[in-house]
Chains A and B, each alone.
Chain A
Amino acid sequence: MFQVPVLVLKEGTKRESGHKAQLGNITAAKAVSDTVRTTLGPRAMLKMVLDAMGGIVLTNDGNAVLREIDVSHPAAKSMIELSRTQDEEVGDGTTSVIVLAGELLSVAEPFIERGIHPRIVVNAYFKALDDAVEVIDKLATKIDPNDNKAVNNVIASCIGTKYMSRHKELMCELASTAVRTIATEVDGHKVIDIKNYARIEKVPGGGVEDSCVLRGVMFDKDVTHPKMRRKINNPKILLLDCPLEYTKLESQANVEIAKESDWEALLKQEETYVEKLCSEIVKLKPDLVITEKGVSDLAQHYLMKANISCIRRVKKTENNRIAKATGATIVSRAEEAKESDLGIAGLFEVKKIGDEYFTFITECASPKACTILLRGASKVLNVMKTFDILFLNSKKDVLNEIERNLQDALCVARNIMRDPRIVPGGGATEMFVSKALGEKAKSLEGVIQFPYRAVSQAMEVIPRTLLENCGANVVRALTELRAKYASGKETPWGVNGQTGEIVDMSQYGIWEPYTVKVQTIKTAVESAALLLRIDDIVSGISKKKDDGQNASQPQNEEE
Chain B
Amino acid sequence: MSSLAIYGERQSGEDVRTQNITACIAIANILRSSLGPVGLDKMLVDDMGDVIVTNDGATILKQLEVEHPAAKVLVELAQQQDEEVGDGTTSVVLLAAELLKRADDLVRRGIHPTNIIAGYRLAMRESCRFLRDTFAVSVEKLGKSCLLNTARTAISSKIIGSEIDFFANLAVEAVLAVKRKTEVGKYKYPIKAINILKKSGKGARDSQLLKGIGLNVTRASQGMPLRVSPAKIACLDFDLRRSKMKMGVQVLVEDPKELERIQEKEYEVTKSRIEAILKAGANAIFTTKGIDDAALKYFVEKNAIAVRRVAKDDMKRLAKATGASVQLTMADLGGEESFDPSFLGSAEEVVEETISDDKFIFVRGCKNLASGTIVLRGPNEYMCDEMSRSLHDCLCAVQRALESNYVVPGGGCVEASLSIFLENFATTLGGREQLAIAEFSDALLVIPKTLAANAALDATDMIAKLRAVHNAAQLDSNKGNLSHMGLDLENGHLRDNLEAGILEPAMSKIKSIQLATEAAITILRIDDLIKLKKKQEDESGEY
Nearest-neighbour CB distance to chain A for B238, whole angstroms, equals 15
Q: Is A490 on the interface with B (CB-CB < 8 A)?
A: no
Nearest-neighbour CB distance to chain A for B297, whole angstroms, equals 4
Find out whether the CB atom of A536 lies under 8 angstroms from the CB atom of B42.
yes
Nearest-neighbour CB distance to chain B for A378, whole angstroms, equals 33
Q: Is A51 on the interface with B (CB-CB < 8 A)?
A: no
Nearest-neighbour CB distance to chain B for A191, whole angstroms, equals 7
Nearest-neighbour CB distance to chain B for A108, whole angstroms, equals 14
Nearest-neighbour CB distance to chain B for A92, whole angstroms, equals 13
Find out whether the CB atom of B67 lies under 8 angstroms from the CB atom of A9.
yes
Find out whether the CB atom of B201 lies under 8 angstroms from the CB atom of A85.
yes
- Known contacts A74-B43, A527-B379, A536-B40: A1-B15 contact under CB 8 Å: yes
Q: Is B263 on the interface with A (CB-CB < 8 A)?
A: yes
Find out whether the CB atom of B26 lies under 8 angstroms from the CB atom of A254.
no
Q: Fill in one digit per residue for B422-465: 1 if any A CB lies within 8 Å of its CB, else 0.
A: 00000000000000000000000000000000011000000000
Q: Is B200 on the interface with A (CB-CB < 8 A)?
A: yes
Interface residues of A in 253-282 (CB under 8 A from B): 253-258, 262, 265-266, 269, 273
Closest to B204 in A: A526
Nearest-neighbour CB distance to chain A for B163, whole angstroms, equals 7
Interface residues of B in 39-74 (CB under 8 A from A): 40-51, 53, 55, 63-68, 71
Interface residues of A in 34-86 (CB under 8 A from B): 72, 74-75, 77-78, 81-82, 84-85
Find out whether the CB atom of A534 lies under 8 angstroms from the CB atom of B40.
yes
Find out whether the CB atom of B380 lies under 8 angstroms from the CB atom of A82.
yes
> Count of A residues near B, CB < 8 Å?
92
A126, A251, A330: which contacts B251 (Cβ < 8 A)?
Answer: A251
When chains A and B are docked, how far (Å) is the Cα of A126 from the Cα of B161?
10
Q: Fill in one digit per residue for B24-50: 1 if any A CB lies within 8 Å of its CB, else 0.
A: 001101100110011011111111111
Q: Is B221 on the interface with A (CB-CB < 8 A)?
A: yes
When chains A and B are docked, how far (Å) is the Cα of A84 from the Cα of B378?
12
A252, A526, A529, A540: which contacts B245 (Cβ < 8 A)?
Answer: A252
Q: Fill in one digit per residue for B6-30: 1 if any A CB lies within 8 Å of its CB, else 0.
A: 0000010001000100110011011
CB-CB < 8 A to B41: which residues of A? 530, 533-536
Find out whether the CB atom of B44 lies under 8 angstroms from the CB atom of A541.
yes
> Count of B residues near A, CB < 8 Å?
93
Find out whether the CB atom of A548 lies under 8 angstroms from the CB atom of B262.
no
Q: Is B244 on the interface with A (CB-CB < 8 A)?
A: yes
When chains A and B are docked, how far (Å) is the Cα of A249 from the Cα of B356?
41
Question: Is chain B's binding surface mostly helix, strand, loop or mixed?
Answer: mixed
Nearest-neighbour CB distance to chain A for B234, whole angstroms, equals 20
Q: Is A129 on the interface with B (CB-CB < 8 A)?
A: yes
When chains A and B are docked, how far (Å) is the Cα of A533 from the Cα of B245?
56
A13, A249, A256, A543: which contacts B262 (Cβ < 8 A)?
Answer: A249
Interface residues of B in 265-324 (CB under 8 A from A): 266-267, 292-297, 300-301
Find out whether the CB atom of B162 lies under 8 angstroms from the CB atom of A540.
no
When chains A and B are docked, how far (Å) is the Cα of A525 from the Cα of B163?
13
Question: Is chain A's binding surface mostly helix, strand, loop or mixed?
Answer: mixed
Q: Is B114 on the interface with A (CB-CB < 8 A)?
A: no
A25, A89, A117, A540: which contacts B202 (Cβ < 8 A)?
Answer: A89
Residue in A126, A195, A254 whose Cβ sees the most chain B Cβ within 10 Å: A126
Q: Is A230 on the interface with B (CB-CB < 8 A)?
A: no
List the one stretch of B87-95, B253-261, B395-403, B410-418 in contact with chain A: B253-261
Q: Is B226 on the interface with A (CB-CB < 8 A)?
A: yes
Q: Is A241 on the interface with B (CB-CB < 8 A)?
A: yes
Q: Is A537 on the interface with B (CB-CB < 8 A)?
A: yes
Closest to B381 in A: A81
Q: Is B357 on the interface with A (CB-CB < 8 A)?
A: yes
Find out whether the CB atom of B254 lies under 8 angstroms from the CB atom of A542.
no
Nearest-neighbour CB distance to chain B for A357, whole angstroms, equals 27
CB-CB < 8 A to B161: which residues of A? 119
When chains A and B are docked, how far (Å) is the Cα of A219 from the Cα of B379?
36
CB-CB < 8 A to B378: which residues of A? 526
Find out whether the CB atom of A330 lies under 8 angstroms from the CB atom of B27.
no
List the one stretch of A137-145, A331-339, A426-434, A463-471 in contact with chain B: A331-339
**Closest 7 pairs (CB-CB, A-B):** A522-B203, A89-B201, A81-B380, A250-B244, A539-B45, A126-B162, A535-B40
A residues with a Cβ closer than 8 A to B are 1, 3-4, 6-10, 13, 17, 21, 25, 72, 74-75, 77-78, 81-82, 84-85, 88-89, 117-119, 122-123, 125-126, 129, 186-187, 191, 193, 195-196, 241-242, 247, 249-258, 262, 265-266, 269, 273, 320, 323-324, 329-333, 336, 519, 522-527, 529-530, 533-543, 545, 548-552, 557, 559
B residues with a Cβ closer than 8 A to A are 11, 15, 19, 22-23, 26-27, 29-30, 33-34, 37-38, 40-51, 53, 55, 63-68, 71, 159, 161-163, 200-206, 221-223, 226-227, 242-245, 248-257, 259-260, 262-263, 266-267, 292-297, 300-301, 354, 356-358, 378-383, 386, 455-456, 531, 534
